[in-house]
Amino acid sequence: MTIETITTENLLLRKLTPEVYNFIFNTFSEADIIAFLGLESQTDFSKEKDKFEKGLTTYNRSFVNFQIIEKSSNEIIGACGFHTWYTEHARAEIGYALKDDRFKGKGVMTEALSEVIAYGFNTMKLNRIEAFIGTNNVASLKLVAKMGFSKEGLLRQHYCKNNFMEDSVVFSLLKSEYLQ
């Protein structure tokens, strides 16, 4: 199986889809899966295996995620992509994370998201990209503003983090806005 990779100036963005997960979990050894996905522990492997076994998609929902790989070291340093893609409605929720503070504040996520957003609109044919960000996540709030997202509102007690319900600020970027 050939796995699509987007190349930027400093990064490789390796595309992970339900089909890739099916391939690796049905073909690779546990050790190879851990290495391929850049997992750091047996617990991380168990979580990924559990997600795979419970099903990654439904009839109208899927995902496209990208591993962020630093070109110079070939190290998997994070991920970004569309973890909730409503295929019938041409919209998806974007998510992103870096594994290590060493890579934060260096423009890595700006470089990665620029390509992933373009991929969403141009290849996935999205009309709308959504972002839900915790009210205290200053770096992400700045990032989506920099990427042209518009603030739409607040979802109260929207998600649970460390056993605490937190609010999410809702942002969106429409294809028509992206094209301007």
The correct answer on CATH 3.40.630.30 for the domain covering 1-126 is yes
User: Which pLDDT value is given to residue 58?
Assistant: 86
User: Which pLDDT value is given to residue 115?
Assistant: 98
Non-local (6+) Cβ contacts of 179 within 8 A are: 121
User: Which pLDDT value is given to residue 56?
Assistant: 85
User: Which pLDDT value is given to residue 57?
Assistant: 86
- Considering the chain, what percentage of its residues have pLDDT values greater than 90? 89
- List the 128-134 sheet strands across, edge first: 5-7, 11-16, 61-70, 75-86, 91-98, 128-134, 164-174, 150-161
Cα 89 from Cα 76, distance rounded (Å): 31
pLDDT (tens digit per residue) in 73-122: 999 999 999 999 999 999 999 999 999 999 999 999 999 999 999 999 99
Return the domain boundaries, the chain: 1-126, 129-180
Residue type (1 letter), 21: Y
User: Which pLDDT value is given to residue 111?
Assistant: 98
Q: What is the pTM of this model?
A: 0.92
Residue type (1 letter), 92: A
Residues of the chain with pLDDT below 50 are none
Cα 157 from Cα 167, distance rounded (Å): 5
